[in-house]
Structure 1
Amino acid sequence: MKIGLFFGTFNPIHVGHLTIGNHIVEHSDLDQVWFVVTPQSPFKQKRNLLDNYQRLEMVYLATKEYNTLKPSNIEFGLKQPNYTIDTLAYLEEKYPDHQFSLIMGEDNLKSFHKWKNYELILENHGIYVYPRISKSVIPEQFKNHAKIFNISAPIMELSSTFIRQEIKAGRNVRPMLPDEVWKYLDEMNFYKNS
């Protein structure tokens, strides 16, 4: 099975994340997209970052109706700070029958050469890149690379930061979130005072 790994804090997951994940699975050779919830680093305490399991719960609520979109807490048990290369090695050991690729915005591809062991990642894994409004200058070494696939997904400039700011300001963000996620956030009063 071919799995695309979409990493993020998902604080909170929103309709933009789901749109990109679904578009990529529908327009590529991937069988599933796993939303890998990045755990809070013990070295970087972010004031407005919800607990790991609360963010995982929101990803579960957002994806439970989709056969091809799955939540993943795979990084919760890994040593921190964690690097993508370590997560990939762990996944390959745990799921030897799966092929794993990365999903990232083109803004992340711009700095991909700074990632730990990026050459090894590229040698063994595909990278599915979705566009961003702010056009990034892609380094020459990544242009026309056999393992990098540009997916013409819809450009979604919705951000979790914007949603948190709107909630704090008391504005209605319901259209920006999957319904179950909105209900969960509303019941738990998340982000209202952060």
Structure 2
Amino acid sequence: MIILYGGSFDPVHIGHMIVANEVYHSFQPERFIFIPARQSPLKQHRTLASDSQRVEMLKLAVTELGFGEVSTIEVNRSGESYTYDTVLELCQDDADIAVIIGTDQFEQLDRWHRIDELKKLCYFIIVNRETEFNVVSEPDVSFQIPRIDISSTEIRRRLKSGESVKFWLHENISTFIRKEHIYEKEKSN
């Protein structure tokens, strides 16, 4: 089994890491792949951290988690990032592929690029986000974790205004962000 966990990861935070940890330990996949998106077609904003900074933050997260790998398959592709293209490229003969998504993405799956074809290649592990549980049909799986309503948007806002993000980010990721001056309104010396 291969589990794909894609997203902007701008930045990767404790909520992302908890989702990854819970899913990994429940499913025990042969491979767990974090995939930072170049540009999600369903999101309005562009990432603020560079592709290389987001990849580096994910590598730091993988080190802390003790499992997983980071793929640059989407950041190396030009244009919008489509899960269909990524799954097709990563598909191996008869590979069992699952894609982690949150409730917010689950509710707009009908807007995803080539969704009917994508569903033939993989299934979804839908993690409750801003809700207690999700009602899904097989082969998709509803996966419940304790709610942690942390968002990258709020973290970026807090960092820009100089507010604390302690416990929102793993310490090594927070250190990297501050060292690189990511998300600051003005670069400090």
TM-score (norm 1): 0.83
1:188 aligns with 180
Query: 1: CA distance between counterparts of 2:47 and 2:119?
Result: 33
Deviation at 1:66, TM superposition (A): 3.1
Which residue in the other structure is 1:82 paired with?
81
**Counterpart code for 1:148:** D
- Superimposed CA distance per residue, residues 117-174 of structure 1 (whole angstroms, 9 cap, x where no aligned partner): 21222222121011012479x7xxxx55221101112222101111111111111213
Q: Say if 2:167 is the partner of 1:175.
A: yes
> TM-score when scaled to structure 2?
0.86
Write out per-residue CA displacement over residues 2-49 of structure 1, whole angstroms, 9 at most, x where no aligned residue: 1211111111101110000110111225344322101147xx995661
Give the counterpart letter for 2:76 in structure 1: G
**Residues 9 and 26 of structure 1: is their aligned pair in 2 closer, same or farther, counting only changes over 3 Å?**
same
Q: Which residue of 2 aligns with 1:119?
A: 116
1:40 and 1:121 map into 2 onto residues whose CA distance is 18
Instruction: Give the drift of 1:84.
Output: 1.2
Matches within 5 A, 1:82-101: 82-92=81-91, 95-96=92-93, 98-101=95-98
| Alpha carbons of structure 1 residues 179 and 3: separation in structure 2 relative to 1, 3 Å | same
Q: Give the aligned length.
A: 184
Structure 1 SS opposite 2:22: helix
Q: Deviations over 1:39-81 (max 9, x none)?
A: 147xx99566111011111110111233433222111232422
Task: Answer with 11-20 or 170-179: which moved more.
Answer: 170-179
Unmatched tracts of structure 1, length 5 or more: none
Q: Which amino acid aligns with 1:181?
A: I
| SS of residue matched to 1:64 | helix
Percent of aligned pairs sharing the same letter: 26
For the structure 1 residues 47 and 29, does the alpha-carbon distance in structure 2 shift closer, same or farther, using more than 3 Å as the test?
Answer: closer
